[in-house]
Structure 1
Amino acid sequence: MSWTLACSAADLEEDQPYSADVDGELVALVSTEGELFAIRDRCSHRDVMLSLGDVEDCTLECVAHGSRFDLRTGEALDLPATQPVPVYPVKREGDDVYVDLDNPITQES
């Protein structure tokens, strides 16, 4: 795995998406239900930043049309989005949060 520093753990608040530029890729980081998640910060339907949306029940809602994405799999759960969004392995080490963009998590993982 290829871990890249995404942000400080202090930047993350429970159920508040945080947008981080990780090697030129915008990633929405979410701390919810005691876990950390990393998902591409772009809706697959309208290319809107997902980090502007709300977190509920381990999903992130797009502010444009209300499509929700599963933070564990990236699956689009509501129309109009039909395509998944990549999710990435994420870990906390001390005060830092790291993301592995090279190994996206697939629904088969």
Structure 2
Amino acid sequence: MEKTWIKVCETLDVQADAAFACEVEGRMIAVYQVDERHFATENVCPHAYALLSDGWLEGIEIECPLHGARFDITTGAVLEGPAECAVKTYPVRIEGDEVQCLL
């Protein structure tokens, strides 16, 4: 199945240094803006069902609000447990006022 660029939100929806939650094609996605760059991850912590968009973003690290697992939003890598699996990331591009992800 070929991946395509899909609009996930508007650039105005995403505030600097915060997470924005959206659902696109049945996928729960968190979009972030850090230093004028946009990033996207799945929005559900792989350790336990918690929305990362309800957590805390510091730089490029998002902390899960449930058990404090931390992830790098640029790579999805686990930075601190209890999570043992990375969070899925999505390539992002800006087209006009749209934030698009490669899904």
Identity of aligned residues (%): 36
Number of equivalent positions: 101
Determine which of 7, 10, 13 is the counterpart of 2:9. 7
Q: Any residues of structure 2 matched to 1:1-109 within 5 Å, and which?
A: 1-101=3-103
**Residue 106 of structure 1: aligned partner:** none
Normalization by structure 2: what TM-score? 0.94
Could you list the runs of 5+ residues in structure 1 that have no partner in the other structure?
102-109
Shift of 1:57: 2.3
Shift of 1:34: 2.2
On the 8 A contact 2:8/2:24 being kept in 1, the answer is yes
Structure 1 residue ranges, 4+ long, deviating more than 3 angstroms after superposition: none
Distance 1:45 1:32 in 2: 24
On the 8 A contact 2:22/2:28 being kept in 1, the answer is yes
Could you list the runs of 5+ residues in structure 2 that have no partner in the other structure?
none
Distance 1:71 1:9 in 2: 18
